[in-house]
């Protein structure tokens, strides 16, 4: 029987952290405040989203700030990111080979991300792999975003799948909570910035490399 294998994007399919950090730093550079964020050390914050990066940068600068400042800079960040979305971004090793194996075995494949849908569409198209995912649901596709389970259910529906035969591949507590709320198994990757610390989130499985995806899915859904 076929599975619906739904992937998160940032930190799961692709390492987007350096381009995200660069976009956030562009907001600070525009005000002559330099680049307070580091593409390596702050990668985990990058995967938490644009506003999280802005908050960290403002805290690091040691000046008074408010959520109004974050809201002001967020569109600037998105514009900077859209203009340089794939400078440093790379798909994780083996990711697309694993997706091809899923296709070959008759499984359904989609993306459920908290990245704005337009940016996600642009990125996957630029990376040359958009056509390998039947559906892409982003942060603004529905009125709610992960960890609300609705976007995950929507992605499964758009790939023509069944929630009873689905799994979410992700990298953060947001993905873990989304899957839990949906009653769907989660697999968290360990090659992101937090490494094997994701085991503390108690997902149904961990994935150390995409070469192991088939075996991991077999463990969750015997006879898939």
Q: Is 60 helix (H, G, I), strand (E, B) or coil?
A: helix
What is the dihedral angle through the alpha carbons of 144, 149, 151, 153, rounded to the nearest 10 degrees?
-150
Pairing relationship of beta strands 90-91 and 14-15 according to DSSP bridges: antiparallel
Q: Which of 218, 193, 210, 214 is nearest to 91 (CA)?
A: 210
- Phi–psi pair at 206, nearest 5 degrees: -115, 150
CA atoms of 199 and 189, how far apart (whole Å) = 9
Q: How far apart are CA 140 and CA 119, in angstroms?
A: 11
Of 8, 42, 73, 175, the active-site residue reads: 8
Residue 104's alpha-carbon distances to 46, 52, 97, 136, in angstroms, are 33, 38, 10, 20
Give the separation between CA 25 and CA 22, rounded to whole angstroms.
5
Q: Is 8 a catalytic residue?
A: yes
Euclidean distance between the first and final Cα of the chain, in Å? 5
Q: Which residues are catalytic?
A: 8
């Amino acid at each position: 029987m076929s599975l619906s294998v739904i992937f998160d994007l940032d930190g799961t399919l692709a390492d987007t952290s350096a381009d995200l950090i660069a976009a956030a730093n562009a907001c600070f550079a525009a005000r002559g405040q330099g680049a307070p964020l580091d593409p390596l050390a702050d990668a985990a914050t990058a995967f938490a989203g644009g506003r999280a990066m802005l908050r960290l940068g403002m805290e690091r600068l040691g000046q008074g700030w408010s959520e109004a400042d974050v809201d002001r800079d967020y569109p600037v960040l998105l514009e900077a990111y859209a203009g340089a979305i794939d400078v440093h971004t790379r798909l994780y090793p083996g990711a697309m080979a694993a997706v091809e194996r899923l296709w070959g075995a008759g499984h359904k494949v989609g993306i459920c991300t908290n990245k704005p849908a337009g940016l996600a569409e642009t990125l996957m198209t630029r990376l040359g792999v958009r056509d390998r995912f039947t559906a892409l649901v982003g942060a603004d596709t529905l009125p709610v975003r992960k960890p609300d389970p609705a976007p995950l259910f929507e992605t499964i529906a758009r790939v023509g799948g069944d929630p009873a035969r689905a799994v979410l591949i992700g990298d953060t507590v947001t993905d873990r909570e989304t899957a839990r709320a949906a009653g769907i198994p989660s697999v968290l990757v360990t090659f992101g910035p937090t490494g094997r610390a994701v085991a503390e989130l108690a997902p149904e499985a961990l994935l150390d490399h995409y070469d192991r995806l088939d075996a991991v899915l077999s463990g969750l859904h015997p006879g898939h």
